[in-house]
Structure 1
Amino acid sequence: MSVNVVIPARHASVRYPGKPLAQLSLPDGTRQSLVRLTWEAARAIPGVESVHVATDDTRIRDHCESFGAQVVMTEPACRNGTERVAEAARIAGLTSGIIVNLQGDAPLTPPWFVEALVAAMTADPSIEMATPVLRCDVTMLGHLMDDRLAGRVGATTAVFDRFGDALYFSKSLLPYLDRDTAGAAPPVWHHVGVYAYTPAALAAYCDWPAGRLEGIEGLEQLRFLENGHKVRCVEVDPRDAQFWELNNLEDVARIEAVLRARG
């Protein structure tokens, strides 16, 4: 089954304007942009046929083309990354297999996270959309709690049923717990911002009305749930690899620390 990756990248982020072009320090002393690091992570996924960056900004386009990325220009009216990926897939003619939305702020995404989504959708053709979830360790839970206490909107958590289908996603910490009751294996699942779709489900998404909860949380995947479509949560194994997305300026240091640890 063919797998094509699209990286949505917009300049006009409310919390972090120009985020795709943010420069991160690498262990060798050089610096690379967030979007280039994400593009390189996408290219490291085994079996991927193509990687496109989808943007509406000429600065991002020019930067990505400078290091050899394929770029699809999309409309500024796209309301979220999924809509941008859907438009890019239509323009690029991606009509078969699996389309993966690897968000441009997730350069630490290990390739096996995407491989797990592809494996799940290959094994069960009824899955229209799949996304990874990662059980929080004590360190990750501490970062989540610190963000909440500081009033920062950070990573997303997921709750799902015994079949793995999502019940809800939130930027709040779900389920409720505190540091004293969390224990060594807290029952909190960090939602990793990667999505795999069938082309039909991705195309249909843009025809559905935006959901009330989608608007409140600012989470695009809730449109699937609010329109009666399941989202399969696929548990992934970090294999001791630290994972974090760049949501706030404070996350730059966290990601750079992981890059240093990886060498």
Structure 2
Amino acid sequence: MSVLIVIPARYASTRYPGKPLVELKGASGDARSLIRRSWEAASEASGVDRVVVATEDERIRDHARSFGAEVVMTSENCRNGTERCAEAVSALGATPEIVVNFQGDAPLTPAWFIEDLVAGLRTDPNADVATPVLRCSGRMRDDLLADRKAGRVGGTTAVFGHDGQALYFSKEVIPYAAGQYGPDDLSPVYHHVGVYAYRPDALNAYPGWPEGVLEKLEGLEQLRFLERGHKVLCVRVEARGRQFWELNNPEDVQRLEAMMKAMGIN
């Protein structure tokens, strides 16, 4: 097997319990669950051998199977999606070249984000993990800043070096920039897209490492790799006219539905 996609889906989310089963209405008014929309988005990527949903909850399992998804049951002890992916790969007995963690709350992730991500990891033998970053327009940056001002945990941002190596990820909007940017201007802020591609050795080692200090403070699982000295490659992706947002809070449902309507996504 070359590329395996795992979609971790946890029912007992701290900020939004039952989030994978929340329904989102598309442009036609058709309502589908978040986990179904995420599975459909992941299944559109080319060069992928297998897509599975990994969950600890029977409600999510039964629902995912009802629309044709392959499901792997994992324990309730997984602290984050990366640990759930590692457990799922072990349970499957799979030996993929690359494991992709497709976050179950990002149904607007285009297929080319995954394809570019896998290609990026393949071309950098020194990277253990790769993750996409999308340059923010002034409008997207303003939306991120508005979430923070309102006390909501919104999207994550990333800063990286000239070689693409991640320097830091944060739920604050980084880097700080004093200037103003028009709605369609490019800002210096990069929105981190919550998808990861791992080499199996790094993924297998991850659950055995203690939770990092920064990881715990920020609530960002990828920081554990940085705190352990592993290279995380930021792969710059292009929106190609697509809007992107994740479902982090109940307020995001309306935002995602408006985006799907504007893009004609049913």
Q: Give yes or no for TM over 0.5.
A: yes
Tell me if structure 2 keeps the 8 A contact 1:214–1:221: yes
What do residues 184-239 of structure 1 show as CA deviations (whole Å, max 9, x unaligned)?
Answer: 32100100000000111100111112100000000000000001101000000111
CA positional deviation for 1:94 = 2.2
| Residues 82-231 of structure 1 mapped to structure 2, 5 A cutoff | 82-178=82-178, 180-182=179-181, 184-231=185-232
Cα separation, 2, equivalents of 1:44 and 1:93: 24
Tell me if structure 2 keeps the 8 A contact 1:98–1:196: yes
Cα separation, 1, equivalents of 2:138 and 2:127: 31
CA positional deviation for 1:95 = 1.8
Cα separation, 1, equivalents of 2:96 and 2:176: 40
Aligned residue pairs: how many?
262
CA positional deviation for 1:115 = 0.7
**Which residue in the other structure is 2:243 paired with?**
242
Q: Which is worse superposed, 149-158 or 87-96?
A: 87-96
CA positional deviation for 1:121 = 1.7
Q: Which is worse superposed, 88-97 or 5-14?
A: 88-97
Cα separation, 1, equivalents of 2:2 and 2:69: 19
Cα separation, 2, equivalents of 1:94 and 1:242: 34
Aligned to 1:181, what secondary structure does the other structure show? coil
Cα separation, 2, equivalents of 1:75 and 1:151: 31
Q: Which amino acid aligns with 1:257?
A: A
Q: Which amino acid aligns with 2:250?
A: L
Cα separation, 2, equivalents of 1:56 and 1:237: 34
Aligned to 2:208, what secondary structure does the other structure show? coil
Q: Which is worse superposed, 123-132 or 186-195?
A: 123-132
TM-score, length-scaled by structure 1: 0.97
Tell me if structure 2 keeps the 8 A contact 1:94–1:199: no
Does residue 23 in structure 1 map to residue 43 in structure 2? no
Aligned to 2:187, what secondary structure does the other structure show? coil
Aligned to 1:245, what secondary structure does the other structure show? coil
CA positional deviation for 1:176 = 1.2
Tell me if structure 1 keeps the 8 A contact 2:126–2:231: no
TM-score, length-scaled by structure 2: 0.96
Cα separation, 2, equivalents of 1:216 and 1:126: 27
CA RMSD in angstroms, aligned pairs only: 1.1
Tell me if structure 1 keeps the 8 A contact 2:4–2:96: no
CA positional deviation for 1:31 = 0.5
Aligned to 1:88, what secondary structure does the other structure show? helix
CA positional deviation for 1:125 = 2.5
What do residues 8-37 of structure 1 show as CA deviations (whole Å, max 9, x unaligned)?
Answer: 000111111100000011222221000000
Aligned to 1:147, what secondary structure does the other structure show? helix
What do residues 94-126 of structure 1 show as CA deviations (whole Å, max 9, x unaligned)?
Answer: 222110000000000001111111111222233
